[in-house]
Structure 1
């Protein structure tokens, strides 16, 4: 991958904005900026400020007039982004949205094939890209068998294989373990150093990317457009306090944290005994595991990508059967439904175990945010007045009230995460299983989500809940005084 093979792209935005066809408010508005070829830019802003929308627009994938309304102009190398699609590589927030083929090698090769790259050259590019991102799996490995972090590396490899002049990364390290974060950051740094490609990265882990970028641009959301633009030293040092107050993650200015647990943990509501877990009936990816899930505390599940954390979480939640061993619910939680959550009916699970999956899009069922919140409550046949009251309370608590009538799929990644948490809370389960609960959050919404989890733990509004949190965010576990179980796994690490 050489500079001669890659011509970096320039970017120009003049009063640019975009409004999705299903929303009244603009997702981004009055964005004016110029990025020179070869610059490395960190794009910041509070959750919902339009960062992902800008990246999708630069990649030419927002759609036409039937999907939304555009204002101003946006150019890549002096032309509309749609004309430069072969020159841009986009890695989106949700890596599942980019896995288009069944096997790893074919998926990485897909973009090259669309560009008409000669067959022999495609496969050398595939091998090179996989090596750069550190995804050491067979080319015929099923993409559906990869962990969330591995899928993120796969998406990045697919973008790198096309050797784009403009590399667009949307939260590229969100679901990666700490080692993987550094590996991917360093891989991107090597690529842009060797090729000279222009880089625009959206990431809440600001300190991770400071060694790579030479410019920081901050979006204010709404009609504010660009509110800060300059070198990292100028923007973060001189305006750090101001930006942090608006939700931007600023190194050295941590968000507020809740207090310690109010009560000692209670008797276990769930217990795993010699538990082995896997997505396939006879193939364990982790275990045996023995653990207890107790009200009044947070159980943190950590481990490297591919260790089986999400699979363990789904098994504890009654969504996957154990490969071996068992998950047993205490009589207080089972309440006549039987001790094995995997055998419970969906309505029985709703008020007992609530689950937030790693990928928010996998849980979105309704056409509006308000209707999404009501899905579980309507399945429980709650009175309309109670459904409305709970829904309005959660919309306000999770900062989603202004999006109540929006299509959930048009929300930012952070907003989708808050929506799935709100939908889980609506049915008031005693056990909450959260997979990467703070994914995509700005500093303000991170603190608010952590506070909500702490209130569940402490029983601030009802009996104390038991919380299982699968996360790579060590700050979350520290803030919640979590008891940590590290999973080593039996599968491929990545």
Structure 2
């Protein structure tokens, strides 16, 4: 299994005027390895979902056909495996091993073969825990590894991957690429979406470029595609190999301290950590998956109660709540002072349209309606969301959802912004727009904390780095979470450390 044929395929989400993808004619032979390219919003993730038979007819409008080995995609799902942009959407069991076994059990694999295949798949992706590890205790990157293990265990004829290394640290991403090289045999068809093109090229032998608005622009060997279309693709935001990242944005001296963490921790998710956050500077938080970076972001954002230590806000940041820790501030006050961008953008969406999502924060903060409208329009245009103003946030692409989540945090103009993987899913053009936006905030005296694996982002914007440690993984069967330790030397100043 694995041959793919699309004839004039198109899909439009319910309630949307524009087609997510349209006019696609494409043939992929069994065993081919294809990199699917195009700017953010070109329809790459939608096309993968369609190939997996995961677009219900009552959720939108389609045209044309998709066939997998001569059968409609909806009838060929047993031979197709997909890893989504958001791994949480495909984890269904409480324990990690059970999650990998779930698909095998549904496929009727003999009981005696299930657990050896589970253990083999977990080992392939470098999963650092025993199969009894609770899925709720995993970091975003660890969830990504687990989701991939669940798909590889099925040994699908057609493997669809949507940004499979987006939330992984560099070592973890390299391990996943090595695992895919070993796992994808001659009979397995691979279709991959990956923004960081240079890293993906060793995995593929063909590049297909989607034309925004409809059709396929280019299709062929990677070298030929980039020779003929590289300049145009780079201008449109594709991360074409060989195009250098512009130099670091200059910054002035940092301002006053806004937030101080003294032995701040949440056992066992985050070991005691010391740091300061200053106005007018960017602090980048780095570290391996599972080191506690997202937990630290939630603590700094006042969204979790510390399990140990203390978090102190300056008088300038806390206002009338001086002396009270951020997790005890009232919600409107917290949103106006500290904005948070979660690792999973959908966790912060609560309305039915992009426009309403952007207006919610300023309205709750008591802004007059005219000011709310002006702020919403500014953010819509600045982050290239204007054409999506009436769209449901849950129908956006991964990159679009990330930009919306950043915009909602900025809508109330908080003095301090905490971002977890802010550049996830961005093409080159929207990546630079986010960097420019963050640089302007920093220059205007706002404090920024960014949890990231994006080394180019660190180079372009970070003034200091904090590296959270990750000791050796627990022994198999222990089920304990790793402690996290901070490297205080890395947080005390100087140029960003390149990881």
TM-score, L = length of structure 1: 0.94
Q: Does 1:63 align with 2:63?
A: no
Q: 1:365 aligns with which of 336, 350, 354?
A: 350
SS at 2:302's partner residue? coil
Cα distance in 2, alignment partners of residues 51 and 139 from structure 1:
32
Q: 2:385 aligns with which of 371, 385, 400?
A: 400
Shift of 1:361: 1.2
Hey, what does 1:32 align to over in structure 2?
Answer: 25
Are the aligned partners of 1:260 and 1:481 in contact in 2 as well (CA < 8 Å)?
A: no
- The size of the alignment, in residue pairs, is 474
Q: Does 1:351 align with 2:357?
A: no
Shift of 1:343: 0.9
Hey, what does 2:495 align to over in structure 1?
Answer: none
Cα distance in 1, alignment partners of residues 268 and 41 from structure 2:
39
Q: Does 1:267 align with 2:243?
A: no
Are the aligned partners of 2:288 and 2:469 in contact in 1 as well (CA < 8 Å)?
A: yes
Hey, what does 1:202 align to over in structure 2?
Answer: 193
Which structure 2 residue ranges, 5 or more long, are not aligned?
A: 472-480, 485-499
SS at 2:71's partner residue? coil
SS at 1:441's partner residue? coil
SS at 1:336's partner residue? helix
Q: Does 1:149 align with 2:119?
A: no
Are the aligned partners of 1:304 and 1:493 in contact in 2 as well (CA < 8 Å)?
A: no
Shift of 1:255: 4.8
Cα distance in 2, alignment partners of residues 385 and 147 from structure 1:
41
Greater mean alpha carbon deviation, residues 88-97 or residues 120-129: 120-129
Q: Does 1:18 align with 2:11?
A: yes
Hey, what does 1:485 align to over in structure 2?
Answer: 466
Are the aligned partners of 1:40 and 1:213 in contact in 2 as well (CA < 8 Å)?
A: yes
Shift of 1:288: 2.1
Are the aligned partners of 1:255 and 1:443 in contact in 2 as well (CA < 8 Å)?
A: no
Hey, what does 1:388 align to over in structure 2?
Answer: 373
Hey, what does 1:322 align to over in structure 2?
Answer: 306
Shift of 1:492: 3.5
Cα distance in 2, alignment partners of residues 206 and 493 from structure 1:
34
Hey, what does 1:177 align to over in structure 2?
Answer: 169
TM-score, L = length of structure 2: 0.93
Shift of 1:256: 4.5
Are the aligned partners of 2:280 and 2:442 in contact in 1 as well (CA < 8 Å)?
A: yes
SS at 1:351's partner residue? helix
Are the aligned partners of 1:284 and 1:323 in contact in 2 as well (CA < 8 Å)?
A: no
C-alpha root-mean-square deviation of aligned residues, in Å?
Answer: 1.4
Hey, what does 1:474 align to over in structure 2?
Answer: 455
SS at 1:204's partner residue? coil
SS at 1:382's partner residue? coil
Deviating above 6 A after TM superposition, structure 1's stretches of 4 or more consecutive aligned residues are none
Greater mean alpha carbon deviation, residues 104-113 or residues 178-187: 104-113
Hey, what does 2:222 align to over in structure 1?
Answer: 232
Shift of 1:481: 3.7
Are the aligned partners of 2:141 and 2:168 in contact in 1 as well (CA < 8 Å)?
A: yes
Shift of 1:482: 2.8
Q: Please list, as runs of the form range in 1=range in 2, the aligned pairs for 1:36-435 lying within 5 A after superposition.
A: 36-64=29-57, 66-193=58-185, 196-223=187-214, 225-256=215-246, 259-261=249-251, 263-277=252-266, 283-339=267-323, 340-435=325-420
Shift of 1:110: 1.3
Are the aligned partners of 2:268 and 2:483 in contact in 1 as well (CA < 8 Å)?
A: no
Shift of 1:438: 0.3
SS at 1:16's partner residue? strand
Cα distance in 1, alignment partners of residues 193 and 376 from structure 2:
31
Cα distance in 2, alignment partners of residues 227 and 296 from structure 1:
43
Cα distance in 2, alignment partners of residues 169 and 127 from structure 1:
21
